[in-house]
Amino acid sequence: MEKQFTVKNPQGIHARPAGAIMKKASEFAATQISLELNGRKISAKSITGVLTLGMKAGDAVTVSAEGDQAEQAVEAVGAVIESVLD
Amino acid sequence: MFGLFGKKKKQVSIAAPITGKAVALDQVPDAAFSQKIIGDGIAIEPTEGVFVAPFDGTIVHLIDSHHSLVMASDEGVELLVHIGINTVSLQGKPFTPHVKSGDKVKKGDTLIEFDIAQIKEAGLPTITPVIIANGDIVAELKAHEGNVTAASSPVIEITLK
């Protein structure tokens, strides 16, 4: 299961939005959730991983998941990626 | 004695990255840090605008607006330091980075210089969360509050799993 989401936060995914993405991903304990951008793929449950993707406004990020509730996990994490947290 | 007691768990002591006053994370006016969503650690109210490497390691990621970075120690401990709160909005102005992502650094090397007065003039807190970014490798964490000197005073002591 994978789907693309677009970053809308004008400041990109800095520490606070990255924390929100990691927190949402961690709610799906039995699911492997990955984010991919520009050929780099990282675990959505790692704050370092999420930050190192360097997601900026307008970037299309691929969210993929395997395991329990994969579809719900992709949609939930994608919604956080598209939300604008200041 | 012949491994009867198993492998001793590894302890890691992390020095303050900034000179100032170390306080509990719940003093940080940002829930992402105070509620430990990003991770556990401590916060430092800086008295000097110099962020130095608290251990030998690698710069994993310098954030674009230069107010935050993640570095990793040779043991694999990842440390996130975020200078001030909401400082992403300053678009890098008060921050002078001396490193880039991928650089190897030694304990005490200057990583980012920052202008405390400029951050305060912008109406933003200068309190700086210092967070273990990969808490999954940590069995136990102790944070030490009080006045600290960069690259010298231990602020976080962790036992690895």
The CATH number of the domain holding residue A17 is 3.30.1340.10
* Res B9: pLDDT: 80
Distance CA B23, CA A13 (A): 27
Residues from chain A that touch B30, judged by Cβ atoms under 8 A, are 16
* Res B53: pLDDT: 98
**Residue B72 in domain:** yes
- pLDDT tens for B65-96 read 999 999 999 989 999 999 999 999 999 999 99
Q: By the 8 A CB rule, do A85 and A53 touch?
A: no
DSSP string, A26-85: HT-TTEEEEEEETTEEEETT-HHHHHHT---TT-EEEEEEEETTHHHHHHHHHHHHHS--
ipTM: 0.88
* Res B108: pLDDT: 98
Instruction: With H, G, I as helix, E, B as strand and everything else as coil, classify residue A25.
Output: helix
* Domain span including residue A52: 2-82
Q: Which of B32, B72, B89 sits opposite A15 (nearest CB)?
A: B32
Instruction: With H, G, I as helix, E, B as strand and everything else as coil, classify residue A11.
Output: coil
Q: What is the mean pLDDT of residues B150-156?
A: 97
pTM over 0.80: yes
Q: In the annotation, is B66 catalytic?
A: no
Domain count, chain B: 1
Domain count, chain A: 1
The CATH number of the domain holding residue B94 is 2.70.70.10
**Residue B2 in domain:** no
Encoded tokens for B160: 């690895």
* Domain span including residue B138: 11-160
Distance CA A23, CA A19 (A): 6
Average pLDDT, chain A: 95
DSSP string, B75-117: T--EEEEE-SSSGGGGTTTTEEES--TT-EE-TT-EEEEE-HH
* Res B109: pLDDT: 98
pLDDT at B1 over 50: no
Residues from chain B that touch A15, judged by Cβ atoms under 8 A, are 32, 38, 63, 68, 80, 82, 88
Residue B3 CB partners (closer than 8 Å, separation 6+)? none
**Residue B21 in domain:** yes
Q: What percent of chain A has pLDDT over 90?
A: 97
